[in-house]
């Protein structure tokens, strides 16, 4: 009886962890120049997702648009402060919902874009609405480790999601990017976004979320554009997701 109860609780945690997200991005340790404001607009569309919410009252993933405007400021050559506001969703019926806000502190090695080996760490603190997450307050710890060799770039973000359950509730959701620079203006990349479930005990393989994205990066003037299409690799993943990220320094 005890193991059945424990298994049921684990499944509940897993379903909550695999809900849609407002941001699909691998961090590369790049930050805004000192004294500069930057705006990054994230949007992702669940072209083929779950047809029921991950929890009662939650957003139904299928055919929903989820996004956020991310406001950042370069404080020093190694520190950027950020605010995600508003987080929002547009359901398949056209209903618009406000999902909360996030505060971000990003610490990186200076001049990361010009280094062969680069690193950093990002901390996010979220205030969620009840239809977006079962927990009102959550957080994310995102280490950044990357290497460049010629035209090739490899980055790992071994992310830990933190909930009010304490340290025992840490969730392991790494993101990985392998990119190839075709020219000064064009890059292509393969990105993988995984969610293995609680760190203390991973979810069964079929219930984990694993998505593989094909991504294209291209600047237009002072605006950086990143577009991609993702495909689910397991039963616990949304089948097809489209993402678009538009970023620009504001001064």
State pTM to two decimals. 0.90
- As a whole number, mean pLDDT of residues 53-61 equals 88
- In CATH, 2-249 is 3.40.80.10: no
- pLDDT at residue 10 above 70? no
- pLDDT at residue 5 above 70? no
- As a whole number, mean pLDDT of residues 188-192 equals 98
Q: Integer distance in angstroms from the first to the last C-alpha of the chain?
A: 61
Each domain of the chain, given as residue ranges in start order, spans: 2-249
pLDDT of residue 246: 98
pLDDT of residue 164: 66
Q: Which residue has the tokens 């120049």?
A: 33
pLDDT of residue 20: 66
Tens digit of each residue's pLDDT (9 = 90 or more) over 12-36:
333 333 446 899 999 999 999 999 9
pLDDT of residue 21: 87
- pLDDT at residue 3 above 60? no
């Amino acid at each position: 009886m005890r193991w059945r109860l424990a298994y049921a609780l684990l499944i509940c945690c897993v379903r909550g962890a695999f809900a849609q997200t407002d941001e699909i991005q691998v961090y590369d340790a790049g930050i805004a120049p000192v004294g500069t404001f930057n705006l990054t607009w994230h949007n992702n569309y669940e072209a083929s997702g779950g047809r029921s919410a991950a929890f009662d009252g939650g957003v139904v993933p299928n055919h929903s648009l989820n996004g956020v405007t991310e406001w950042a400021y370069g404080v020093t050559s190694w520190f950027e402060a950020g605010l995600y506001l508003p987080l929002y969703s547009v359901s398949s019926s056209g209903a618009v919902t406000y999902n909360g806000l996030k505060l971000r502190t990003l610490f990186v090695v200076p001049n990361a874009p010009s280094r062969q080996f680069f690193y950093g760490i990002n901390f996010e603190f979220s205030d969620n609405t009840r239809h977006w997450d079962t927990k009102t307050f959550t957080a994310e710890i995102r280490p950044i480790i990357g290497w460049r060799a010629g035209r090739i770039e490899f980055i790992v973000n071994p992310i830990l999601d933190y909930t009010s359950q304490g340290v025992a509730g840490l969730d392991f959701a790494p993101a990985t990017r392998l990119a190839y620079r075709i020219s000064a203006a064009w890059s292509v990349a393969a990105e993988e976004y995984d969610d293995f479930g609680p760190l203390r005990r991973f979810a069964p393989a079929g219930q984990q979320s694993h998505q593989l994205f094909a991504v294209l990066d291209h600047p237009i003037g002072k605006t950086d554009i990143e577009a991609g299409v993702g495909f689910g690799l397991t039963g616990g993943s949304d089948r097809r997701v489209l993402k678009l990220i538009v970023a620009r320094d504001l001064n």
